[in-house]
C-alpha cells in the first residue's frame, strides 16, 4: 500500500512528497511539531495535542497554517488514507518559505504544514513493555525553552543515538545538581516505596507531555498520589519503579539506568497497571 502525506494543501504520495529548499524549518529549525498516537482506530488525546501545538505556535509567533477544525479533518484524513489503525500521526508547522534571512519573513508569508502517518506494531510494543527498557543519563545541554515543541532537536538526536549505541533506548537529561529533567523524547517518572508517582514539574525545563497529563488523570481516578518535584538519578535507582511516557511509547517501564538495575530489574506493577489503564482514560477521537 502506498503512503500518503499532506503537504501544504495537497495529499501526495509519500515517496515524492517534498518541501521547498528555503523552508525555514529546513534552514533554521524554525518550526514546531506534534505526534499523536493512533490506537485501535482512535486518535489519542488529539485536543490536548492541538492545544499544545497552538501554544508552541504562539510562543514562536508562527500563525496557524489553517483553522483548527480544518487541521483536525486533515489529520483524520491522513490517518484514513494511510489505513492506520495503530500507529502515529506527525504534524509539523514551520514559519514558511522565504529567502534565507534570520529575521522573520514578510507577515503575509504562509506557514508551511506537513502531516504524515505511519503504522506501528502494538504486539512489538507490548513485548517491549513486558521486558522494560534501559536508559542512560547525559548532561543537560539544551536551550531553556524546551517547553516549546520545536523541531530543533539536535541535542535530543545525539542523546538518543548515544543511548542506542549503549544498548539502551532512551537518554535522560540530567542537570548539574543530579536531578533528572526528562528523556530525549519522553517524560521521566519514578514510583517511590510508598507508591507515590514522582515526575518533574512542567513549569520550566521540560516538555509538558500529553501522555504525562493523561497518566495524572489515571492516578486521580485510581487514588494514586502524584508529586511534581525533581528527583535525582540516585533516587531513581533506589525507587520501587521507574518509567517513561510519550505518545510513541505510552507508559514504558525503565528497568536499568546507566547499566544499574532499578529495583529488581523488572517492570513494576504500578507502571504496568498505568499502561493497561491508559487507553480507557485517554480521550479518543475516531480517525
Residues that bind ligand PDD in the complex, under the rule CB under 6 A: 35, 182, 185-187, 207, 209-212, 245-248
The least distance separating ligand PDD from the CB of residue 185, rounded to whole angstroms, comes to 4
Please classify residue 143 by burial: count the beta carbons closer than 10 Å to its beta carbon, then call 0-12 exposed, 13-18 middle and 19+ buried. exposed
The alpha carbon of 284 is separated from its chain's Cα centroid by a whole number of angstroms, namely 17
Give the single-character DSSP code of 263: T
CA atoms within 13 A on the CB side of 213: 16
Q: CB of 159: closest distance to ligand PDD in angstroms?
A: 10
The single residue listed with the C-alpha cell 533528572 is: 180
Q: Least distance from C-beta 252 to ligand PDD, angstroms?
A: 11
Query: Considering only CA atoms, which of 52, 63, 97 is closest in space to residue 211?
Result: 52
User: Which three cell numbers mark 248?
Assistant: 510513541
Cα dist. 223→191, 197, 245 in Å? 14, 11, 19
Shortest distance in whole angstroms from residue 89 CB to ligand PDD: 11
Rounded distance between C-alpha atoms, residue 263 and residue 20, angstroms: 50
**Cell digits of residue 155:** 541535542
Cα 73 from Cα 66, distance rounded (Å):
11
Whether 183 and 135 have beta carbons less than 8 Å apart is answered as: yes
94 or 185: CB nearest ligand PDD: 185
Q: What is the DSSP letter of 63?
A: P
Cβ proximity to ligand PDD, 95 vs 212, nearer residue: 212
Q: Which is nearer to ligand PDD, 137 or 211 (CB)?
A: 211
Burial group, residue 154, by CB count within 10 angstroms (0-12, 13-18, 19+): exposed
Specify the residue, 65 or 209, whose C-beta has the smaller distance to ligand PDD: 209
Shortest distance (Å) from residue 188 CB to ligand PDD: 9
Catalytically annotated residue among 128, 131, 149, 181 = 149
CB of 90 to ligand PDD, least distance (A): 8
For residues 3 and 115, the answer to whether their CB atoms sit within 8 Å is no
Based on CB atoms, which residue is closest to ligand PDD, 139 or 265? 139
Go through the chain and tell me how many residues it has: 287
Q: Based on CB atoms, which residue is closest to ligand PDD, 94 or 211?
A: 211
Tell me if residue 162 is catalytic. Answer: no
Q: Cite the active site residues.
A: 149
Amino acid at each position: 500500500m502506498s503512503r500518503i502525506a499532506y503537504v501544504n494543501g495537497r495529499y501526495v504520495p509519500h515517496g515524492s512528497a517534498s518541501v521547498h529548499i528555503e523552508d525555514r524549518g529546513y534552514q533554521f529549525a524554525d518550526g514546531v511539531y506534534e505526534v499523536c498516537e493512533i490506537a485501535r482506530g482512535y486518535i489519542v488525546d488529539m485536543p490536548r495535542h492541538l492545544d499544545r501545538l497552538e501554544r508552541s505556535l504562539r510562543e514562536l509567533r508562527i500563525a496557524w497554517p489553517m483553522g483548527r477544525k480544518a487541521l483536525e479533518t486533515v489529520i483524520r484524513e491522513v490517518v484514513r488514507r494511510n489505513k492506520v489503525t495503530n500507529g502515529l500521526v506527525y504534524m509539523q508547522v514551520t514559519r514558511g518559505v522565504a529567502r534565507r534571512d534570520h529575521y522573520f519573513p514578510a507577515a503575509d508569508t504562509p506557514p508551511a504544514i506537513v502531516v504524515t502517518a505511519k503504522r506501528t506494531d502494538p504486539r512489538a510494543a507490548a513485548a517491549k513493555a513486558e521486558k522494560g527498557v534501559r536508559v542512560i543519563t547525559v548532561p543537560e545541554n539544551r536551550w531553556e525553552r524546551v517547553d516549546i515543541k520545536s523541531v530543533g532537536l539536535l541535542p535530543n538526536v545525539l542523546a538518543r543515538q548515544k543511548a542506542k549505541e549503549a544498548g539502551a533506548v532512551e537518554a535522560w537529561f540530567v542537570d548539574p545538581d543530579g536531578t533528572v529533567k526528562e528523556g530525549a523524547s519522553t517524560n521521566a517518572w519514578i514510583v517511590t516505596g510508598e507508591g507515590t508517582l514522582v515526575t518533574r514539574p512542567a513549569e520550566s525545563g521540560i516538555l509538558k507531555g500529553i501522555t504525562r497529563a493523561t497518566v495524572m488523570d489515571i492516578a486521580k481516578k485510581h487514588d494514586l498520589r502524584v508529586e511534581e518535584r525533581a528527583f535525582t538519578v540516585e533516587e531513581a535507582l533506589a525507587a520501587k519503579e521507574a518509567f517513561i511516557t510519550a505518545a510513541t511509547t505510552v507508559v514504558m517501564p525503565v528497568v536499568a539506568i546507566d547499566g544499574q538495575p532499578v529495583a529488581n530489574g523488572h517492570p513494576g506493577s504500578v507502571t504496568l497497571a498505568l499502561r493497561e489503564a491508559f487507553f480507557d482514560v485517554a480521550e479518543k477521537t475516531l480517525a
